[in-house]
Every structure is written in structure tokens, then in C-alpha cells.
Amino acid sequence: MLPIRLLTAVPICDGHDSAINTINLELIRHGFEVIYLGYHRGAAEIVRAAIQEDVKAIGISTYNGGHVEFFADLSRLLHEAGAGDIKIFGGGGATITHADESLMLSQGTDRIYFAGTPLTQMMEEIEQRYGGGRLTAVPQGASQDVAFSRALSGAEEGEGGGAWNGPRFGSTGRSRVIGITGPGGVGKTTLIDELVLRFLKSEPNGRVAVLSHDPSILGKGALLGDRATMIYSQNDRVFMRSLGTRGQAGGLAPTTERCLRYLRSAGFDLILVETVGIGQEAAPFGRDLVDKTMFVMGPDYGSRLQLQKIVMLDVADLVVVNKSDQSGARTASAEVEQRIAANKQGQRLYTTCAKRHRDKGVNELYQVLMAVE
């Protein structure tokens, strides 16, 4: 059985994230997989993320007011999409009054927690309310994302024959699958978001899928936070699913292969798979899993001797030195280029600064990726 998944977020015009960070940590210690969307988030993007991530409930922390209308908007949007069985809970210190609570419960909110509620009580209630099996029903008239997301979760558990039988999501007739790995902190998520932006601009009728991995706490839950740092991947033409490693080493989850097979069968034009940040030894992608592999590194890897120890430099199809604006980046790029030239496999180095607007290196990298056959 898959872990129970929740999505947490802070509403638009609210930058108070201290309380939600505390709640997130408690939730993962109790075995939940928590998709954290971050702060200053609108109702529509919260609902989209909750549907795609196939969560049991949405938890909102709010301190700026406007909560009655915001929670009502969440409930309305969930029902309009055919996902009204996703529950909503939340809190806001002293911001939400008991009179507010009564109105919010009548409008579809499931539970409000007030200041002073013990964390142990809160966790016990959340487990009782949202534990158990995942949501499987797809109401008549539900959006395509609802149907696909729940079928994808079924595929993770080995249900449904491993292929999507509904309408195809893409426009090109084939899926390019790119596996992206590298150490933590080198900007993989930002680079992926920039690649998504270029896809959305160049393929007006296409859809892209992102399969993102974060580590699980051994024997417990996971904090899946890549969505919180993404901007362009909130677009309606992007389908994103976050996975915890669930005790498996190497940067991927035990269900990654089944998820990828399902995403391929749905016909997404481009599928980007990001691993957990890896060290020297990991080579997570088999040739049957992805079409091309990309290794992303920063300019601060240490001495040249360290380059000889990085397995992915021997096996990656594309090598990227990101954060090329940092000091030492030119020297690093030259050393990495020498390292991969010695492999004599035709590998090419790309230097990028993913945070830079219209970065030429990211533009070139995207063109190469879309030319993959």
C-alpha cells in the first residue's frame, strides 16, 4: 500500500511559513508523504497540485485573513474538477475565529485547528481522518487530470495493466524521456523549470510531465518540496508527480519504472525525471528506463581528482555545469570537458545559468533535448 499523501501550502498574500514547516515535520515523522507547495499560493494552483499528486487532503496555514473566502474557493474548485472527496483542513493561530470556523465548515472545510491544539492531538486526528486507503473513485464529469492521477497511483500499486487507456495527453505522437541527476544543490529543479518554460513556448499544443524524487525518512514519511521552488511548472499543460524514495537507494523510488511506463502510455510529449541528489557512485537510469540521461553538476566539485570518481561522467549522454556565473566556473568547465573527452563517447558539455533570464546555455540544451530520437 502506498503512503498516505497530503498537500500543504500557505495562501496567496501570506508569507508566514514557520507554522507550516513545523506541521510538515510532524506529519512526515508520522509516516505521511507531504507535498509542500510553499507560500503565496493561489487556490487554483493548490487544487491543481492536489489533484495531480493524488492526495487525501489539503492542509492550509493562514495568518493574513481572507481565509473564509479562500477555503471556500478551494472547496468549490475541487468539486468543479470532480475531486470533492479531497478534504481540506487548516489553521491560523488567532486569525480564524470560532464564528469563522462554523461558516467554513458549512462551506466544505473538514477541520480547523486553533492555537494551543497539542501537536500529538493534531497528528492523531489527521491519521484517523485521512489515513487508510487512497482515493480511487473517479466521479462522472471529473477532469482528465483527476482520472489520470488516480489511475497513475493504481499503476504504482500494480493495478490496471500498467497502461493508460484514456485520451492521449501529447500532440507529437511520441514521448521523449530525459533522466536528470546530479548532486544536491546544483540547481536541477530550477533547470528543469526553465526547460519546462521553453517547452511551453515552443510547443503550444503539447504537454510535459515531470516526475520528481525526494528522499524519504527511513521507515517514515517524506517531504516532497520541488513544487515549492517551481514557477512555470504550475502551468495547466504540466503534469507533475512527486515521489519519495521509500527506502530505496540510488535516487529513484521503487515505483518509478511503473510510473514512467504509465506516463509514456499517456503520450506526454516530454517527460523529465529528476532523481534525489546523488553522490559519486549512483547511476540510477537504465537504458530501458529513459531515452537520454543528463548529469548536472556545479563548479565547486573540489579537486580534479574528484572528477575521476564520478560515475555519471562516464555514462551520462549530456553533462551540464550549472551556476556558470559563479567564480571558478570557467576552470571547472574546462576540467570537466577534458574528463568527458577522455571517455571517447561523443559526450558534450553544456554550461548553464538556470536562474538567468533567457540563458543561452539553457536554450541550447533545450534544443538538443528536443532533437532526441
22-47 pLDDT, tens digit each:
999 999 999 999 999 999 999 999 99
Q: Residue 280's pLDDT is what?
A: 66
Q: Residue 133's pLDDT is what?
A: 86
| Residue pair 323/353 in contact by the 8 Å Cβ criterion | yes
Low-confidence ranges of the chain (pLDDT < 50): none
Q: Residue 50's pLDDT is what?
A: 98
Q: Residue 286's pLDDT is what?
A: 74
Q: Residue 151's pLDDT is what?
A: 95
Q: Residue 111's pLDDT is what?
A: 98
Structural element, H or E, at residue 73: helix 67-80
Give me the architecture of the 5-130 domain, per CATH. 3-Layer(aba) Sandwich (3.40)
Q: Residue 16's pLDDT is what?
A: 84
User: Fold identical between 5-130 and 169-370?
Assistant: yes
* Domain ranges for the chain: 5-130, 169-370
CATH superfamily of 169-370: P-loop containing nucleotide triphosphate hydrolases (3.40.50.300)
**Closest C-alpha to 225, from 70, 14, 18, 24:** 24
Q: Residue 283's pLDDT is what?
A: 76
- Please give the C-alpha separations between residue 144 and each of 83, 110, 161, 166, in angstroms, as whole numbers: 11, 25, 19, 9
The sign one gets for the Cα dihedral 333, 334, 335, 336 is positive
Take residue 98 and report the three cell numbers written for it.
470560532
Distance CA 248, CA 255 (A): 10
pTM tops 0.85: yes
Q: Is 178 helix (H, G, I), strand (E, B) or coil?
A: strand
